Amino acid sequence: MAGSVAIVGAGPGDPELITLKALRRIEEADVILYDRLVNEQLLGYAKPAARLIYCGKSPGHHSIPQERTQQLLVQYALEGHKVVRLKGGDPYVFGRGAEEALAVAEAGIPYEVIPGITSAVGAAASVGIPLTHRGVAASFAIVTGSRCHDHEQPVRWDQLARNVDTIVVYMGVSQLGHIREQLLLHGKDAKTPVALVENGTTSRERTITGTLDHIDKLAAAMKITNPALIIIGEVVKVRERLLSLQHTLNAQII
């Protein structure tokens, strides 16, 4: 008898941000295939007999090829196991969750997708940056920096620069100079505020802010590394206002 597969979003890093439904699937699982950005505290909820398989990917290195990960999902489910594919953020936002869902579905295996808080939303909120804000930003777009030099499917920086209020870039720190250059080339104001959020929602969270004209140099000086999120737009100024108000409140309490 075939088992089942749950493709589960673990959220942006803070283990408390996982959903109750996702947590139940972890507790029930016979096999868990988990990614690099999954907080390993979540694996503590697995039953003692559960098999844990690391499938992490980092820039330039995949511990297990994507095709092999999909084969394992199918293999363990066909053996009758309850399988969880545990992914950082949301499975369907730069998580290759749809590729895995297709592989499982094509094998005739029952599956479900359990959403998670994607990093763009979670990390931005954690540091006080709204992706939309009345009178400031009515739209946002999420893009991946890993496609910066993909000539077959190039990022449309021209459209993003002109038509989107807030731009959020995943996996873009190593391409920050190129991103800056392209946005300026297509008309983005050099003084547009930018925030870099490193290890968002975790105890190692760090945020630096600047403007588009020099953000790549600032990131290099501060040694920002992945995982980090790039947030470009006037909404970054909302964080500054919130910090100022918090400082005033703290001074009044003292």
Residue 130 CB partners (closer than 8 Å, separation 6+): 124, 137, 235, 238
Give the other-Cβ count within 10 Å of 21's Cβ. Answer: 12
Question: Cα–Cα distance between 33 and 46 in angstroms, integer?
Answer: 12
Give the other-Cβ count within 10 Å of 243's Cβ. Answer: 13
Structure token pair of residue 173: 């720190």
* Residue 35 among the catalytic residues: yes
Report in angstroms the alpha-carbon separations of 114 from 34, 160, 227, 252.
14, 29, 22, 44
Strand, helix or coil for residue 113: strand
* Residue 44 half-sphere exposure toward CB, CA atoms < 13 A: 6
Catalytic residue among 57, 82, 158, 213: 57
Comparing CA positions, the residue from 33, 236, 32, 30 lying closest to residue 136 is 236
Give the other-Cβ count within 10 Å of 114's Cβ. Answer: 23
Catalytic residue among 90, 171, 188, 216: 171
In which order are the strands placed within the sheet that holds 206-211? 140-144, 166-170, 228-232, 193-198, 206-211
Task: Catalogue the active-site residues.
Answer: 35, 57, 171
